[in-house]
Every structure is written in C-alpha cells, then in structure tokens.
Chain A
Amino acid sequence: MFYRKLFNRNKAKSYIWIGFFAIIAIFPLFAGETRYVPLLVTIGLNTIIALGLVVLFGYSGQLSLGHATFVGVSAYITAYLSTALHVPTILSLLAGVSGALLVGLIVSPILRLKRFYFTISTIALNLVFFSLWKGLPLTGRSMGINGVPPFSLGIITFNNILDYYYLAWALVALSMWITGNVINSQFGRGLRVLSQDDASAQVVGINVTYSKIKAFLFSVALAGLSGAVGAHYLRLVVPDMFTFSYSIGYIIMAIIGGVQSVWGVLLGSMLLTYITEAFQVFVRFRDIFYGLALIIVLIYVPSGLIGILQFLPARFRLATSTADFNPVKEKNPMQKESISLKQQNNVEPVLEVEGLSKNFGGVQAVSDLNFSVRCGQIKGILGPNGAGKTTIFNLISGLMTPSRGKIVFKGQDITRYPPHAVARQGIARTFQVIRPLADLSVFENALLGWERWFKVGFHDIMINSPKIRRQEAEARRCASENIELVGLKGTEAKMFAKLPVGQQKLNQIARALTFDPDLLLLDEPAGGLNDTEIKNLAELLRTLVKRGVCILLVEHNVNLVMSICDEILVLDFGEKIAEGTPKEIRSNPKVKAAYLGE
C-alpha cells in the first residue's frame, strides 16, 4: 500500500513537471504579442534568482537582503565587456557570472556572521555597490550602460522576445532541476541541520563554514546568471535595476511562495511579478498589497503558499521538502573503504585522555582528568548533576576547547581539532538535550550519519550524477538497516521533532551508527525511555560492542550503567572520585555520598 502510494506520488510529480513546461512551451502560440510574454520572461528571470535563495535562505537559513548586488555585478560585467570591448556575448555572460562568483567569494567572510549581522552586511553590500555604480564613470553613472548587444550563441542571435522567452524558461527548468538536486542531496540535508544547529551538523563531520560558502556561491551564481541574461534581454543596465528594494522583492517572492520548495518560489515569483505589473495601473495599492501578503503568509501560512497544497491528498502534493522515504531493497555490493580497527581485536586504548581540564570563568568544570577507553569496551561515566559529564563529551568532540590536557584518539592527538575533523576521525556522538531538528524525518536524520563516507564533488550533487546515486543508495540501505537495528522500523517517514523523546534518542543513535564510528559517545541515551525500551537499548549496546564499536556512556540510569558497562568512572565537581568495575563502584562510600549527600 505504502509503496503503491509512493509510486503514484513520484509519477504525479513528473506529470506536473512535464505538464507545466509543456504549457510554458506552447503558451506563446496563444498569447502571441500580448503583454504576457514579456511578463513571463521577467517571471523566469526572477525565478532563477529566487531559486538560489531557496538554498541560501530556505535551507542554510541565511537571510540575504542584498542579492541584487550579484545580479548587478554580473549584468554590468557582461554589459561592459560586450558593449565597450565587443567581447562575444556568450563569453561576456560567462565572465559576468564568474565576476559575481568572485565578488561572492571575496565577501564570503560575512558568512561567519550570524542572523541579523549577516543580513545587515548583505544590505550594506548592496548599498556599497549601488553607490559605486552610480558614481563610477566606468559603469556610466546614473545613465548606466545603453545599447547592450543582444545575446548570441555563435550564429544564432536572440533578437526576438520569444527567443528570450524560451531562453529564460529553459534556464528556469535547468535551475529548478539543479536546485532540486542540491536540496535533496546529503548536502541539502546537511544545510537544513546547520541552519538550526551548528553542533548537530559538526558532530557528523559537516564542515559548517565550507557548506555555508557553497550554498552562498550557488545562490550567487544563479543571481549572476539571471542578471547577465537580463542585461542582454533589456539591452541596458542602470543602477536602479539593482536596488535594495529588488533584493527584498526576491526574498518576498521566496517567502510568499514557500522558501523550501522550488515550486513554491516559482509560484511566489509568478504571483509577485504579475501583481507588480498588474498594479501598475493603480500603483498606489501595490506596496500595501506586498506588505499585507507577506505579513499574512508569515502569520497564517509559515511554509508559504505552496504549504496550502499540503492539505491536498498526498499524491497531488509537491513535496515542500523531501521527507520521502525510498527504501532500497536489493543490497548494493559496493563497500566503503573502512579502515576497520574493529577486526583487530586488540586491547590498546582507542581513546586516551590525559590531564584534561576545563574552567568556565573561574569555575572548574573538569579538572585534571585521566582515563582511557579500550577496544570493545563500554565505559560508563556517572556523577550527580553538574559533575561535568557532558562537558567531557563536548571537550572530546571538539565543541569546546580544553583549558589544559590532551586527547589522543587512535594514536593521534585530536585535542585542538575542530568538531567536524574530530568526527571524521571516527567519533560519533549523541546529545542529551535533543537539538532542534524541526523538519527532518527519522530516515533523513539517520542518513545524515553517512556524511563521513560521502566522497563527491559539488558538480556531482548538482547533476545528481550516477556516482552520487550509487552512494545515496548505499547510504539509504545503511540507514534503513540501522533504523531497524535500533528498533524504529516503521517510523521512517515520521518527523524527528514529532517523536517521543526516547525515540528521538534512538534516532540519534541510528544516525551515529550510519556514521559507522570507531568510538561512540552516548549522552543520556536512556532518558525518556520506558523499561522495555531500556532493556532493548542495553541489548543494542551489547550488540554494538560485539561488532567492535567502543562506547563511552554518560547516563544517570545507574541500573543500566551497572548492568552493561565493563568499567565505570565516577565524577563529582569535575574530578574523578572513583573508577572501577560496577561491583567496585556500587560499594564505594564516596559514590554514595556524592549521590545522596552526607
């Protein structure tokens, strides 16, 4: 039943693609010379820009109010090169897009800034370029550049409005396809995670900075493409075409339509561009309409107008995000090149912690701690609230830097590694307090762990190459297995955020397993589980150890720790007060005092 539905739904999706672009293709036959053809060219050009914002804003969560900058940079470059220097338009167009990318790369440090700080710098960027264009003789000041030659590809010259119509919509189709590939890839899932929580992304090995830059440059490239084509289409470039108001306009298109969906932004750009034109007659109401539309959408339909379609039966929907669960039935023979410590059954310590200390402004959270974890071992860490247990995990996984001390993993000093690099060495972790991953499904969350094994370039992602499909299939197989292993089979398509906390923790474990770690850090995995689930968890952990994963476990369910750990470390006030086998710990008076008070 489920598979059947899925089949229908995918089919429905391709019908919509074909149907929509067929209508676009034959539309000029009916519309002829009406104003709808130029209107649709503008819509197409706007859509391309807004698609970039799906990736940048909808997925990586960076609100840019300065994207007209990149539209303009590209437009000015292609206009100048083709007009003043008579460079062939295809070359000047490429130079335009490259120029926009170059500017994007130069200003990419602003991606380090968070939220409003990033937004204000994009606005500032827009204003800087606007006043440069208005001031520099090279860009023709307020008059801009006139007489830009029409676009031509070798002998074919795009003179006619219809030429641009087809050019623009071919580019829209291409951009929609590429954008769809990008957001549905592992890269897109990674962006959704880092937009909500850096740490969750980092601990599966995602380099947050690089991912943000990639998303940003992707949106810049699309803006540049649209700008360059627009320059040849309009045959002129003036500063007023790239003001801050346009930047806001693109964002509003995306938000109104649905900023996480390629069809959403298409809808948004159609609606807004049409209204802009239609309201030219009584221009006075246009701004009021823009404003009201944005406010109403934000308050009543936060997922955009495309979100309204969610009320339709599933098979008519255009998924806003791809929470689709595509199980892969046959096993893929391709194996990842895992340097498996696990086969060697040695007793060497995998993790060694020496003299580890951390102070927070005078408070000693962890002080001079020594311990090690050996292969095939479950080590438990106990201690009252505030004893520094989670801090130890944060120090190991690189989310915090130790004040003193050394952390050695598989013979390598990882003390000062950034979190994603620590993860890539083979350390996975779960969190005690569930991080907000609002819109990921159980299955997608488990898939995220595959990040460690994904070895593809951005071009593979964009065209959804066979290589990436192979890896994705392998990832899906692995994720399905792990979901089954932790006992979440059947919940794959559910949203992570809607699960009970116990299942969220199991989902985190599944993610960590897809990562296939050498060392697994589990922070309070039993919190929120009922007795049966705890029993299953204990069973699961034993299975993992048999497979050769080493586990470091922070848990306040003392029962669980006592029953499955080989060794236990007890902390109080950041100091080790006892270490030994469960039996030794149980009879230690210091431990009892720390837990119950004297």
Chain B
Amino acid sequence: MELLIQLILGGISTGSIYGLIAIGYNVVYNSSRMVNFSQGEFFTFGAMLVLTFTGGLASSAALAHLPLPILPLVIAILISVMATVLLALAAERLVFRRALKFSPFAASNASFGMIFLLQGVYQLIFGRDYYFTSSFMKFQVQFMGATLASQAVLVLLTAIGIVLILWAYFFRTSQGLAMRAGAENPDAARILGISTTNLVRLSFIIASVIGALAGIVIAPMVILGYDSGLAMTLKAFAAAILGGLGNVFGAMVGGIVLGLMEALAGGYISTLYKDAIVFSLLILILLYRPTGIFGKSA
C-alpha cells in the first residue's frame, strides 16, 4: 500500500513535468500548427543555466571559464528563464518563421534540426558531463505513510502554479482570448485585427518560460546533461498526444497519466522494461483513441 502511494505520488510529480512541457507543445501548435520537437531543449537550457549561475558547472565546460558571478538561486532562476525566452525568440525569428512560410510540417521537421543544433551548442558551452544536482530545500512531507521529497513538492507546486497562471491568462485576459481565437481560426482572427505572427511569437515565449521552469525544478530529480531534453521531448510529446494535440490543459492530464503509467510499470514490473511498457501502451491508446483521451474517438 505504501509502495503504491509512493509510486502514485512519484508518478504524479514526474508526470506533471511531462504535462508542463506538453503544454508548451500545445500552445505553439495552436498558434502555428507546427509541433516544435525542440521544446525539450528549452528545458535543458533553463536547467543548465541555473547550474551555471549557481556555480555547479564542471571545469571542463567552456562557460565555467568565464568569470561569472555565483548568484542566489532565485536570481539565477530569473536570469535563466529570461535567457531561455531570448533563445526561443531567436529560434522563432531565424528558423521557424521562415519554415512556417512553407508549411507547419516543414517547420516541425526543422525543429528536429533544432534539436541537433542546440544540443551541439550545449555540448560546447555546458560540456558533456552529467550532473546530480541538489534539491533547492531540505524537507520531507509524509503522506499516508509515503514520503515525498522536498523537490517533488516543489515540482507539484510549480506545476499547479503554472497551470493556474495559464488558466487565468487564457480565460481572463483579452490577449489569452485572442490566443484561443487564433488557435481555432487564424483567418477569422486576422480580420478582427489579431496578428497571427504575434501570436506565434507569444506562444514561443510562453512555451520557453514553461519549458525553462520545468527543467529548473525537475533538475535535482534527474541526471542532468546536455542531452536531457530529448527524453523529455519524447515523453512530453506522448503526453500531448494523450491529452489531445492542441488541448492545452488536457496535456497536463496526459502528462500525469503517462507519469503514473511509468511509475507503476517501473515499480511493479521492472524498471528495465519501463519504457517498453509505457510506449506499448501509448501505441495501443493511439490506435484506439487517436485523438487522445479527451478527443472524439476515430
């Protein structure tokens, strides 16, 4: 019983990270109809930058040789998130906007190129070492006999916070309303004076902020390296599909379902076959509900 609760709690907290990244997928998808497979790279960038600014980078990394000040955690996080936004804006302006002129499909393919490009850059500036970073705070929470580590609590709180803020943004601001309108019918949005180019840019900003924050809070719970983003990219994409591509909040549910599947498969069957089980289930779910848990069946 305790094991079960432990697994469920663990599953929910990792799953909520998949969900966050998946939200990033959906926000961009809604504004542009492209799937940005390099979404996970924002995750890596945010996490690695915080590591850099808090002085945790190994000396083999190029950035470790710059005379960077060691910053308090909160400031490091702020700066890292801002830097990630700049990175996303540059990617949008230089690559995706051009590729979108051909088609969303071309832009999605270009995002595979972006994965390689960014991972290549990360190897140069952050090095090829892998890190176990320490939790932000030291405390534990007991819940029905199970123990929840401090970082897992932070992850959950972050996920809840972001979802609430996003909800308020989409349902309580006129810009959020415009985002929802543009997602549904871009041409109709344009004749109302809504610039779809701006919406795409905005969506990249939102996606990169979420991506960076997700990477930063989950970092102490994973092995962090220049290529950590790829695994996230895949699992979050699975989460986005489970929740229904384009369904912003469905993605969070998709992420948690995926996280739970993974945790339970790992805990009760074998960590070795964890991926095999999770991804077989994913294929089966896709075949029977191709538009996700909340979508209409085929």
Q: Which residues of A does B touch, CB under 8 Å?
A: 63, 107, 109-110, 112-117, 120-121, 123-125, 127-132, 134-135, 244, 248, 251-252, 255, 284-295, 298-299, 302
Contact = CB atoms under 8 A, between A and B. Distances in A.
A255 B111 CA distance: 13
Interface residues of B, number: 42
Contacts of B116: 287-288, 290-291, 294
Contacts of B286: 110, 113, 117, 120-121
Given A110-B286, A124-B282, A134-B272, A284 B120 contact: yes
Contact of B290 (A117, A287, A290): A117
B120 A299 contact: no
Given A292-B113, A293-B113, A295-B114, A125 B283 contact: yes
A424 to B, nearest CB: 25
B270 to A, nearest CB: 7
Given A244-B230, A288-B120, 5 more contacts: A115-B105, A120-B237, A128-B275, A128-B280, A287-B120
A130 B287 contact: no
Contacts of A114: 290
A124 B273 CA distance: 13
B95 interface: yes
Interface of B: 35, 95, 98-99, 102, 105-106, 108-110, 112-121, 123-124, 230, 234, 237-238, 241, 245, 270, 272-276, 279-280, 282-283, 286-287, 290, 298
A284 B113 contact: no
B234 A123 contact: yes
Contacts of B108: 116
Contacts of A113: 286-287, 290
A287 B287 contact: no
A251 B109 CA distance: 10
Nearest to A107: B283
B272 to A, nearest CB: 4
A292 B273 contact: no
Contacts of B272: 131, 134-135
Given A127-B275, A291-B116, A120 B110 contact: no
A131 B274 contact: yes
A110 B283 contact: yes
Q: Which residue of A107, A112, A128, A291 has the most chain B CB atoms within 10 A of its CB atom?
A: A291
Q: Which residue of B116, B241, B287, B290 has the most chain A CB atoms within 10 A of its CB atom?
A: B116
The 10 closest A-B pairs by CB, nearest first: A291-B117, A288-B120, A287-B120, A294-B113, A291-B116, A124-B279, A295-B113, A135-B272, A290-B116, A131-B276
A54 to B, nearest CB: 16
A131 B275 contact: yes
Contacts of B114: 291, 295
Nearest to B119: A287
Given A130-B275, A132-B276, A290-B120, A116 B113 contact: no
